[in-house]
């Protein structure tokens, strides 16, 4: 099967993050076993989802070190989107293959699967690994489970290519992401008796204003990085819910915000002023009116940034194979930060455009798949016995 055939098959599996990915994983495992590989799986706590890891050993039989080709199997929902074709049936039109996950990121996975026979036929100087994860789209939840299992198996790969859609350009760094839920617990009262209530929405508004002001200060820091497409760390409040009726002082309000930190900045450094403002300003004011009032701050997701440092060898290799000397840095987040945190030098490089990800009529250009095929062929050759 070629890359397009593999991609058609992968798109037909609805692996939206809220669903199981086991059918796809079992299909891939069976394919790899047909080629003599021995994949192993690592599961979520409910055993409804699995990561897959497989190794093509070096010519001398060694399985340690080497390079990982990494991709996530889950996709975002199509709810509320209007598609010109069935999102789970690949459709080729005008040099583009349409389907959910075509770009993000089943296209790369398909290319890796199509390259397996070539990997097997090559006398490798170093092993090549295939890593497929679950639940990347909802907080990169699967990769840490797989990395723990790598350590349990005594494996320590040296390099990793995460095939997120970069139009086959080399991305050497990305921001981290942390998401938070803030619940403001005030005191309800009739709106004609405002002094008897503690207005949760108004206190939420004060917090939102503070977060916006802090975001402005982050934008103007002297240590921002112009190599990033968004060169500063960001904060944004993106959901808010509160109140029951127009004539009731709202007892509760909930908001969610996200923080995207540059690699050299810690998320704690950004969050600390928000925590201090809550604990030393907002809560005391609320509790002066009613001691039972409080504010909860809960972290929902935390994915580390991927710094560019200490991966020069991999950078040079990928640059030479993609004919691109540009080392890009991006604001979005991938599993690359987790691989990097585990001591594995990582680059993001894959077919398709991130601009197509998550949209209706998501597509990948066939030319991008062909470029990825050529890249993988060269990468396999670079790992062969000379």
Q: Which of 74, 104, 135, 164 is catalytic?
A: 74
Tell me how far apart the terminal alpha carbons of the chain are, to the nearest angstrom. Answer: 28
How do 252-261 and 170-174 pair as beta strands?
Answer: unpaired
- In sequence order, the 6+-apart residues with CB closer than 8 A to the CB of 294 are 185, 283, 286, 287
Q: Which of 91, 104, 136, 137 is catalytic?
A: 136
**Cβ-based burial of 291 (10 A; exposed 0-12, middle 13-18, buried ≥19):** exposed
DSSP code at position 298: E
DSSP H helices in 35-141: 107-121
Q: Three-state SS for 43?
A: strand
Query: Is 60 a residue of the active site?
Result: no
Query: Is 101 within 8 Å of 15 (Cβ atoms)?
Result: yes
Structure tokens given for 320: 């030479």
74 is catalytic: yes
Question: Quick check: 285 and 158 in contact, CB under 8 A?
Answer: no
The pair of structure tokens assigned to 358 is 């998550």
Catalytic residues: 74, 136
């Amino acid at each position: 099967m070629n890359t397009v055939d593999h991609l058609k098959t992968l798109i037909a599996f609805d692996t939206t993050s809220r669903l199981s990915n086991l059918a796809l994983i079992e299909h891939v495992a069976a394919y790899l076993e047909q080629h003599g590989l021995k994949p192993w799986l690592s599961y979520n706590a409910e055993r409804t989802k699995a990561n897959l890891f497989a190794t093509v050993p070096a010519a001398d039989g060694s399985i340690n070190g080497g390079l990982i080709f990494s991709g996530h199997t889950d996709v975002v929902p199509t709810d509320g989107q209007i598609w010109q074709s069935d999102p789970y049936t690949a459709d080729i039109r005008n040099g583009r293959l349409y389907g959910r996950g075509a770009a993000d990121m089943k296209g790369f996975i398909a290319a890796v699967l199509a390259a397996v026979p070539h990997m097997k036929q090559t006398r490798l100087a170093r092993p090549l690994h295939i890593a497929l994860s679950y639940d990347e789209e909802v907080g990169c939840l699967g990769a840490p489970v797989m990395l723990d299992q790598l350590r349990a198996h005594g494996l320590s790969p040296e390099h990793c290519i995460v095939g997120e859609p970069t139009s086959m350009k080399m991305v050497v760094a990305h921001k981290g992401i942390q998401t938070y839920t803030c619940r403001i617990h005030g005191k309800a009262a009739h709106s004609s008796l405002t002094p008897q209530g503690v207005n949760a929405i108004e206190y939420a508004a004060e917090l939102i204003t503070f977060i916006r002001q802090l975001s402005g200060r982050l934008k103007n820091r002297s240590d921002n990085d112009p190599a990033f497409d968004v060169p500063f760390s960001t904060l944004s409040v993106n959901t808010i819910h509160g109140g029951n009726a127009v004539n009731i002082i709202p007892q509760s309000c909930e908001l969610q915000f996200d923080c995207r930190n540059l690699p050299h900045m810690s998320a704690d450094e950004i969050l600390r002023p928000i925590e201090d403002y809550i604990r030393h300003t907002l809560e005391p004011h609320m509790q002066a009116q009613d001691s039972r009032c409080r504010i909860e701050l809960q972290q929902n997701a935390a994915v580390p940034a991927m710094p560019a440092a200490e991966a020069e060898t991999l950078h040079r290799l990928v640059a030479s194979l993609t004919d691109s000397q540009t080392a890009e840095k991006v604001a979005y987040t991938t599993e690359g930060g987790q691989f990097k945190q585990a001591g594995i030098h990582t680059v993001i490089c894959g077919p398709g455009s991130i601009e197509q990800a998550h949209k209706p009529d998501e597509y990948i250009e066939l030319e991008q798949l062909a470029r990825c095929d050529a890249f993988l062929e060269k990468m396999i050759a670079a790992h062969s016995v000379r």
